């Protein structure tokens, strides 16, 4: 009997050392102290013992029971302070999370955030637009080629799909008056055949500033600052004459080529410049049409091609990917 008990104590002590968590603790407890445990079997056999043995083993069993319990509890409590035993592979790769913003959304957000820092408000305008706001209010006469069938999507309800975000210039002037600093990211439509660089549906960002003393020098500051922030690099800009009926003087704004830095490369056709954005001083007729006194106020406006900017920024070589819904392209823009 004694030998059996010694063996039991030895086994219990060995196993107690291996306790690492709660379930092991509960298991070992039931194994050595439970109803079906060895010790319990001995204890239930005590009634068959002679009285000497009864006297000897009775208290001994109880003592062992207490000792086991203390031992197990002690090792369990110790185990709680130890680090977990590693039973998994910590070197497995991370599972990709696939949400993505449209690249034009990312660029639009960047540009509007920059303009917001300069105090621009962000406005919205309708895609289905009237001839008045799309053309007339912008000093585009009825004889202008843009008003012909071939460039504009006309609708059977007498309206059209706006060909630029500029109608919001007139809308904003009529709604808010002057002074104003505003920008409008939005979608525009031109009746064009699709190819790698032409889309019938594309995004622009209209910007407009009207105040009492706005000058050509202000355009340079705003555009240069904005582009530096967008591209996160030093960008040179230049203005050259450009003709748009709703501005006078009108400019084409070029920026130094982001690929070669202005040295000349295929992207900029070796000129070092990339045509980016038509802009200009708001035409007095546009002011007058929308009830702003052009003798008091001057202003500038620009129409930045967001689709083009996104293509430049991410070096996307085919404009058709952007409206394709093809997630092989679009899911790559998964920045948080």
Partner 1 sequence: MKISCNVLKKHIKNSEKIDFYSIWDTFTIRTAEVEKVEKKGMNFDGVVTAKIIECEPHPKSNKLSVLKVDNGKKQLQIVCGAPNVKVGLIGALIQIGGHIDDIEISARPLLGIDSYGMMCSGKELGISDDHTGILELPANTKLGVNIKEILPIEDIIVEIDNKSLTNRPDLWGHYGIAREIAAITGNSLLPLELDDTKLDKKDLKIKINNPELCYRYIGTKLEKIENINTPMWMQIFLYYAGMRSINLIVDLTNYVMLELGQPMHAFDANIVNEIEIGLANKGDKFTTLDGNERTLTNKDLMIKNGGKYFAVAGVMGGLDSEITDNTNSIVLESASFEASTIRKTATSLGLRTEASSRYEKSLDPNLTMDGTKRFIKLLKDENPNLEFGSNITDVYPKIFKEKEIILDKKLLYKYMNFEIEDSIVENILNLLSFKVKILKDRFKVTVPTFRATKDVAIAADLIEEIARLYGYENYNEVPLNMDLTFNNNETTYEQEYEVKEYLVNKHNFNEVNTYLWNQTLFLKYIDVLVDNVKLIGKNEDNILRDDLSLSMLESAYINTKRFENIRIFEIGTIIENGENKRSLSILLSGDTGDLKNIYNEAKSIAYHLLKTLKNIKPIFELSESKNYYNNELTQNIIVNNNVLGQINVFNRNISNNINKKKCFVVININFDYYSQINKENIIYNEVSKYPITNLDYTILSKRGEYYQEFEKIIDNFTSPIIIKRELVDIYIENDIKKITIRYTVGSKEKTLTSEELKDFKEKFIKFIEDNDLSIILE
Q: List the interface residues with partner 1, window 71-100 (CB under 8 A).
A: 97-100
Q: How many residues of this chain bind partner 1 (CB under 8 A)?
A: 79
C-alpha distances (whole Å) from 111 to each of 26, 75, 129, 305 are 62, 63, 24, 11
**Exposure pattern of 65-91 as b/e (b: 16+ CB <10 Å)?**
beebeebbeebbeebeeeeeeeeeeee
* 104 lies in the binding site for partner 1 (CB under 8 A): yes
Cβ proximity to partner 1: between 61 and 154 the closer is 154
Taking the C-alpha atoms of residue 228 and residue 103, their distance in angstroms, rounded to an integer, is 19
Subset of residues 19 to 48 that bind partner 1, contact rule: CB under 8 A: none
Region from 3-11, 12-20, 40-48, 218-226 binding partner 1, contact rule CB under 8 A = 218-226
Region from 23-31, 44-52, 71-79, 324-332 binding partner 1, contact rule CB under 8 A = 324-332
Region from 21-29, 39-47, 61-69, 112-120 binding partner 1, contact rule CB under 8 A = 112-120
Sign of CA dihedral 253, 259, 265, 267: negative
CA angle 47, 57, 77 (to 5 degrees): 115
For residue 317, give the nearest of 149, 174, 196 by alpha carbon. 196
Cβ–Cβ < 8 Å for 37, 93:
no
Subset of residues 254 to 293 that bind partner 1, contact rule: CB under 8 A: 281, 283-284
Please select the residue that binds partner 1; options are 124, 151, 195, 293, rule is CB under 8 A. 124
Contacts of 235 (CB under 8 A, 6+ apart): 224, 227, 228, 255, 256, 258
Taking the C-alpha atoms of residue 127 and residue 6, their distance in angstroms, rounded to an integer, is 91
* 241 lies in the binding site for partner 1 (CB under 8 A): yes
Place of tokens 């010694």: 6
* 240 lies in the binding site for partner 1 (CB under 8 A): yes
Cβ proximity to partner 1: between 194 and 196 the closer is 194
Please select the residue that binds partner 1; options are 81, 91, 217, 317, rule is CB under 8 A. 217
Please select the residue that binds partner 1; options are 14, 156, 266, 317, rule is CB under 8 A. 156
* 173 lies in the binding site for partner 1 (CB under 8 A): no
Please select the residue that binds partner 1; options are 8, 9, 56, 101, rule is CB under 8 A. 101
Instruction: Tell the smallest beta-carbon distance from residue 41 to partner 1 (Å).
Output: 38
* 51 lies in the binding site for partner 1 (CB under 8 A): no
* 197 lies in the binding site for partner 1 (CB under 8 A): no
Instruction: Tell the smallest beta-carbon distance from residue 311 to partner 1 (Å).
Output: 14
Cβ–Cβ < 8 Å for 163, 134:
yes
State how beta strands 237-241 and 247-256 pair: antiparallel
Region from 35-43, 85-93, 130-138, 323-331 binding partner 1, contact rule CB under 8 A = 323-331
Structure-block tokens of residue 34: 């439970």
Please select the residue that binds partner 1; options are 39, 42, 111, 185, rule is CB under 8 A. 185
Q: Indicate the SS3 state at residue 207.
A: strand
Region from 2-10, 28-36, 66-74, 125-133 binding partner 1, contact rule CB under 8 A = 125-133
Packed helices 51-80 and 2-17: angle between N→C axes, nearest 10 degrees: 10
């Amino acid at each position: 009997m004694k030998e059996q008990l010694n063996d039991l104590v030895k086994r219990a002590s060995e196993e107690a050392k291996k306790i690492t968590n709660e379930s092991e603790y509960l298991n070992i407890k039931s194994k050595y102290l439970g109803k079906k445990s060895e010790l319990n079997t001995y204890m239930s056999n005590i009634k068959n013992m002679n009285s000497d043995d009864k006297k000897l083993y009775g208290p001994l069993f109880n003592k062992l029971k207490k000792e086991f319990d203390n031992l197990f509890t002690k090792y369990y409590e110790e185990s709680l302070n130890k680090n977990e035993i590693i039973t998994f592979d910590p070197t497995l790769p991370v599972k990709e999370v696939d949400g993505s913003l449209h690249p034009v959304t990312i660029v639009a957000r960047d540009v509007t955030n920059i303009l917001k820092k300069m105090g621009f408000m962000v406005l919205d305008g309708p895609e289905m637009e009237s001839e008045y706001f799309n053309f007339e209010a912008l000093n585009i006469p009825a004889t202008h080629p843009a008003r012909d069938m071939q460039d504009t999507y006309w609708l059977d309800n007498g309206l059209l799909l706006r060909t630029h975000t500029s109608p919001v210039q007139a809308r904003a002037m009529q709604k808010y008056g002057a002074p104003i600093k505003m920008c409008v990211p939005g979608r525009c439509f031109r009746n064009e055949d699709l190819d790698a660089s032409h889309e019938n549906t594309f995004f622009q960002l209209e910007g407009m500033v009207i105040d009492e003393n706005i000058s050509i020098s202000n355009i340079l500051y705003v555009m240069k600052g904005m582009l530096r922030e967008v591209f996160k690099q030093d960008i040179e800009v230049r203005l050259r004459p450009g003709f748009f009926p709703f501005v006078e003087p009108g400019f084409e704004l070029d920026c130094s080529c982001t690929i070669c830095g202005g040295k000349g490369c295929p992207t900029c056709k070796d000129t070092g410049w990339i045509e980016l954005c038509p802009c200009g001083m708001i035409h007095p007729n546009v002011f007058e049409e929308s009830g702003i006194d052009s003798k008091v106020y001057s202003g500038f406006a620009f129409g930045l091609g967001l689709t083009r900017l996104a293509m430049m920024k991410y070096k996307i070589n085919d404009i058709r990917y952007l409206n394709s819904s093809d997630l092989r392209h679009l899911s790559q823009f998964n920045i948080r």
